Structure formats: structure tokens, C-alpha cells
Structure 1
């Protein structure tokens, strides 16, 4: 080193710091790169993405190579800085060189390049992968030797270096990614994607039409009454039963109804109506919607009856009900004025039927009733009160003031709900 001029040593030191910055930035860029974006680019044929993906397949070798290069460069820079310091300041130059070199490496070879790489990982990782791939071929024996030592040391601490962390995401993590996608995904599409993920948290019990609201035809009634129901039916499928709904016969399709009405208009025949009914598809209560959606598809069904552990019918679920959980209601929803179960009052309160579904109220009115227990507002009041309420009475559930306005047949028929002022302003 005595034959090399001080100015030359400064140039060598500057080059070593630049190389150290390269290794530091490359390490951060490789680690920070978005694996899913990288995988997409690699599948699209991007050469840089393919190189980076191949390097990341063995992260132990990649990190080993970068650390070997970075440490060699930093040690060499330290030695040269010491020589420069001693030439300029004698023995005191050792301490001076240590302090100055530490600051220079921290600023120019560590913090700055790593910050730039963290902000632009793809732009740093892909060009850097060219040189890193070449160095990997040259330094592979040393990298393997280093990994052999470090991997065996890890085994002493009970860690298996061969178990790589997978990129699989949980449903909650994927939901967070969708919600944070921002303008990359239209808000309507975000809602649909999140709704698909939420299907596993919702069961058929949450969306079914309860048994007391199922529109069905009692085959034991007089034929004129049956024909009146058939002619006024607004659904494509109707349930047939004998005397009570638990003795269900099957579903009658609208096409079959019209054919039978036309054919037997002069000479009615209940037996033909029963024969035309299609087999019932039964659904166990508590079935998650994502599971039931696949079952509908696998069994080529569109409608089913929900039954409890005793085989009693609890409600009715259709394919449309599940699809509405994903894309929203196909028909007009609560718009702040009226619906089948809700009526907006002049004072800002809502007159609601006791059978109104809590999940639907939360979704349509942006409320926050608890849904992990009772499914209807009647059940919520009975659970909160601990008994069948009398009329009139008032109860407070969270920020909602609920006034019971009508009780009939041991159940709450209608209530008046007054949301808190904060909830009304939100609407």
C-alpha cells in the first residue's frame, strides 16, 4: 500500500463504498419485492422477474452471497480508511478513520440505498439480479460452505432451515389486501371480493326465509283455493305440503303449474299436482354459505329447505339468496324510505317488523346490531329482556333505543328503532 498514492486510495475507498451500497440496496430490494406482483411478471415472461424469482427460491444462498460480498467490501474499506487516516494524522488517524468511515457507511452504504430499495424494490431488484446471478455462479462453493455451517448452527437451536415460509394468505390477510387495494380495484368489485371471503362466516340460518314466512300450498285445501294460490303465485317454485309444513311433499315449478292448470281446468286433479312436484333438497342448519354454494352447484339445485338436527324444517334458502350476499340485492333494497319490513318515520325513527333479519338491517341501514346470537330483532329483544316483552315498553341495545309497539302471539310484531344521533348523521 506504500506505493499507492493517497488520492488513489480515496478513489478505491469510494468505489468500495459504492459496492457496499449496491449489496445493501440489493438485499433490501430482494427481500421487499412484492412476491405476488413478481410471480405475475414472471408468468408474463419478464426476464428480470424470472431471475429474481429463481434467486428467491433459495433465500439462504441469496442472503449468504450478499453478506459475503458486503462484509468483504466493508472490511477492505475499513483497512484502506485506516491507512489513509494514518498517512494524514499518524496514530490519531485510526480513531478519526473509524468515526468518519462509520458515518460514511451508515449514510451512503446502508441507510440511503436501503431506503431507496425499500421504496422501489422492483426497480432495484430486477437490474441487480443480473450481477447477483453471475456472482452466485462464481461464489457458489463459498456460499454453500457458509450455508452448511449456518444451517447446522440453526439446527442446534431447534430450527429447520429447509422449511421455507410459504406465501399462502389467510382469508383475513387477503381481505386486508383487497380493502387496501384502493383505486387499483373499483370499490364495487372490492365489496364483491370481500363478500366472497365473508361467505365462510355466514350460515344458511342467517339468510334463510323462516318457516313461518315460507309461501307454500297445502294440498289438503279445496281445489279452488289451491288454484287461486297457483294463479297468484309470484315465485318460480312453490312448496307443496300436507296440513303442516313439516310434512312437505316437494317443490312445484311454475312451468308445471301452468301446464297442470291448463290441462285440468275442466277436471281438476290433486294427484297430478302431487306427481308433478319435484324432490326436496334438504340443507342442514349451520351450513356455511361457501359450502352451500358449492353443494348447490354440485347437485344442480337452486332451492332447498333448512332442517335442524331433528329433521324439522326451519326455513328456505335459494341460490339467489347466496348470490345476493356477494353482489347485493337483485331487487330494490332499503333506500331510506320503505321496504317489506322497514318504514322510515318523519322523526327519523324506523318502524320495523319483529321478524326483520338483523344482518339485513345492518347491511341496508349501516347499523351494528350483534349477529352472533338471535337472527331477528324479535329474538334480540327477547334475549336482551330475558322474557317476552309487554306492550308498550322500551329497551336500549348498544346505541339503539328500541320501543316495542305491538306484541302478538307471544312475539314482538313491530318495534320503533331510534338510532343514536351519531348513527343518523352517518346516514
Structure 2
């Protein structure tokens, strides 16, 4: 009995029988999948964003330094908890003097463990992690890859002079991939 081919089989057969020479051709083949009702327009939009991820730089979507919520290495446990609860973030840059001197990151759950254990000898120095650093000109594709390889989901962003310009998280990249387009865009 003849078995109907699934989307993946059809897509791979098409790609390998008529190999696209560039991104535009690849997107054309994927766009044909919409016309054949194999994928939705939203799926196409997401695939297009993934393909074009290398065209965007960290500076395009990073959180600027002026909007970073930080903790000071000398903050009390109470002050840290207040900032964490108010912001509802899970990772925080730790500064020593100002936002130009980031010495590490605090993962909130590590602080909660100290609270749960009722540890009287609180010190941020003991629970912070080493900061990862990325240049603001690095493409998002590479940044996402580094996040997965290093299992580090937040990085300090620096400019070409080594000045801290902001931070970027894996959530920022994923949010950029899955945000809705304002208007439908067709290639051909």
C-alpha cells in the first residue's frame, strides 16, 4: 500500500533534489511549504528568523547598562532578597563599585538555598559565578551557541574598547526569535 510522505520527508527530498544555493533560495523552498499547507506562516516566520540570526548582533537586542538591575558585592542578604523579589529576575550582575566593575553573577536560587538553610554567615563572594563576556558586535547565532555549549545563559556585553555596554540573556535571544511579526512578509 502507498504510504503518504510526511512533511520532513517531502521537505528533505525537495531540499536535496533541488539544493538551494543561498538563503534566499532556501527561504523560497520553505515558502513553497506554506503554499502546500505543510507549515503555517508563523512557522515560516520563525524559521526565517533562525536562518537570519547571524545577521543580528548582540547590541541589537541587549539590555543596556543603564537598565541593568545589579547587586553590590557588599549588599546585605535582606537587600539582595528585596531586589530579587521586586525585579523577579533569576540572574543578577554583581558589581564591586559601579556598573563598570562587574565581578560575577548571582543565580537567585543559590541565594534562596542560603535563606532556606538559615545560614548566618552570608557572603555573596561565595555564591557568585564568573561572568561570561561577549562583544557587542558578535552575531546572535554565535552567542546562542556559546550559551548552550557553556551552559551559561547570561553574559556581560562589552564594546570594542572593553567598556561594559549591557548584558544579554538566552531569554532575550529566544524572545527575539518568537516575537510576532507586525505584518506578514512574503519573499516571492
Instruction: State the TM bucket, normalised to the shorter chain.
Output: 0.7 to 0.9
Number of aligned residue pairs: give it: 172
2:100 partner SS? strand
CA-CA distance at 1:226 after TM superposition: 3.5
CA positional deviation for 1:290? 1.2
2:6 maps to what in 1?
Answer: none
Matches within 5 A, 1:106-145: none
Residue 217 of structure 1 corresponds to 71
Question: 2:13: which partner in 1?
Answer: 40
CA distance in 2, matches of 1:214, 1:231: 15
Once superposed, what is the RMSD of the aligned Cα atoms?
A: 2.9
What is the rounded CA distance, in whole Å, between the counterparts of 1:178 and 1:218 in structure 2? 49
2:126 paired residue among 265, 271, 275: 275
Q: CA deviation at 1:326?
A: 2.1
How many angstroms apart in 2 are the aligned matches of 1:210 and 1:199?
20
Q: What TM-score do you get using the length of structure 1 for normalisation? A: 0.36
Confirm whether residue 237 of structure 1 aligns to residue 88 of structure 2: no
Residue 281 of structure 1: how far off its partner (Å):
0.9
C-alpha separation between the residues in 1 aligned to 2:164 and 2:86?
A: 25
2-structure distance, mates of 1:184, 1:262:
51
Deviation at residue 233 of structure 1 after TM alignment: 4.1
Provide the secondary structure at the position in 2 that maps to 1:215: coil
> Does structure 1 residue 320 correspond to structure 2 residue 174?
no
> Tell me, which stretches of 5 or more residues in structure 2 are unaligned?
1-8, 184-188
- Change in CA separation of 1:175 and 1:261 when aligned onto 2, cut-off 3 Å: same
> Who wins on radius of gyration, i.e. which is larger?
1
- Contact preservation (8 Å) 2:20, 2:26: no
User: What are the superposed Cα offsets for residues 267-310 of structure 1, whole Å, 9 maximum, x if unpaired?
Assistant: 453xx212100111111111111111111112222111111122
Shift of 1:39: 7.3
Among 9, 28, 32, the residue aligned to 1:176 = 28
Is 1:190–2:44 an aligned residue pair?
yes
Partners of 2:31 and 2:86 lie apart in 1 by: 45
Q: Is the 8 A contact 2:84 2:90 kept in 1?
A: no
Q: Does the 8 Å CA contact 1:260/1:273 hold for their aligned counterparts?
A: no
Structure 1: runs of 5+ lacking an equivalent: 1-35, 44-52, 54-165, 330-362, 367-427
- 1:203 alignment partner in structure 2: 57
Q: Which has the higher contact order (CA 8 A, sep 6+)?
A: 2
Secondary structure of the equivalent of 1:250? strand
**2:39, 2:118 → 1: CA distance?**
55
Judging changes above 3 Å, is the alpha-carbon distance between structure 1 residues 231 and 323 closer, same or farther for their aligned structure 2 residues?
closer
Shift of residue 224, structure 1, vs aligned partner: 4.4
